[in-house]
């Protein structure tokens, strides 16, 4: 069995390395001096410019199938990309990840939320973490109760990365206390 990288994988890894070296590492002192001024440590317009550059390089939705506009790079490439991104302290990630919608959404939700997220025209956030519960789905207290055709969600979420810029959220709430979270007791709302 051959575990060496293909030429394409090496090329992608080198492209990410150049992106980190040229675009992110020069920003490290700015991030260190920002003292929490910006959520990302980088001025928002500059962060957006970096996102556009990353999308133009094809690093958006890296695990999403091509049929939805992603790069479909797979686990090995994702690991290599994360390894390269870990060389800088600049808190930048290649966005467009919306796995919950990809794996659990219907086609209408994929068209309305997944594809625009991959294209970079919409931003999502993941709302699971709660005070006193952390990110443990079995300990969350937020509830969702059906009210006619709608659901009413009550609860509190914290540490929602990107929540201040998101166009939509994936919110986790208890819907059936008689079931464990992994067996239908917790539902993700879009």
**Section 172-185 average pLDDT:** 85
- Contacts of residue 68, defined as CB under 8 A and 6 or more positions apart, other chains included, come to 61, 102, 110, 114, 115, 118
Asked if 129 and 135 touch (Cβ cutoff 8 Å), the reply is yes
Asked if 188 and 169 touch (Cβ cutoff 8 Å), the reply is no
Asked if 130 and 142 touch (Cβ cutoff 8 Å), the reply is yes
Task: Work out the pLDDT band at 137, boundaries 50, 70, 90.
Answer: confident
End-to-end CA distance of the chain: 43
Residue 36, pLDDT score: 76
**Is 141's pLDDT higher than 90?**
yes
CB atoms within 10 A of CB 123: 19
pLDDT digits (tens, 9 = 90+) for 8-58: 999 999 999 999 999 999 999 988 888 778 777 888 889 889 988 998 888
Q: What is the percentage of the chain residues whose pLDDT exceeds 70?
A: 99
**Section 87-103 average pLDDT:** 84
Cβ burial, residue 41 (10 Å; 0-12/13-18/19+): buried
Residue 100, pLDDT score: 85
Residue 14, pLDDT score: 97
Q: Which domains does the chain have, with CATH numbers?
A: 7-96 (1.10.540.10), 123-189 (2.40.110.10)
pLDDT digits (tens, 9 = 90+) for 59-87: 888 888 999 888 888 889 999 999 999 99
Residue 178, pLDDT score: 86
Torsion angle, alpha carbons of 63, 64, 65, 67, to 10: -150
* Least confident range of 101-110, 117-126, 147-156: 117-126
Residue 138, pLDDT score: 86
């Amino acid at each position: 069995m051959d575990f060496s990288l293909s030429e394409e994988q090496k090329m992608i890894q080198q492209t990410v390395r150049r992106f980190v070296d040229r675009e992110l590492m020069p920003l490290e002192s700015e991030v260190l001096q920002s003292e929490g001024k910006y959520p990302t440590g980088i001025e928002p317009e500059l962060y957006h410019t970096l996102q556009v550059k990353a999308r133009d390089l094809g690093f958006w939705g890296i695990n999403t199938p091509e049929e939805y506009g992603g790069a479909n790079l797979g686990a090995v490439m994702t690991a290599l990309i994360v390894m390269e991104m870990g060389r800088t302290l600049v808190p930048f990630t290649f966005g467009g990840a919306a796995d919950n919608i990809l794996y659990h959404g219907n086609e209408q939700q994929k068209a309305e939320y997944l594809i625009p997220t991959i294209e970079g025209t919409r931003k999502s956030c993941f709302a699971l973490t709660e005070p006193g519960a952390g990110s443990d789905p079995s300990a969350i207290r937020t509830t969702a109760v059906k009210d006619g055709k709608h659901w009413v969600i009550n609860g509190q979420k914290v540490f929602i990365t990107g929540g201040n810029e998101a166009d939509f959220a994936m919110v986790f709430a208890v819907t059936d206390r008689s079931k464990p979270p992994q067996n239908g007791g917790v539902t993700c709302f879009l």
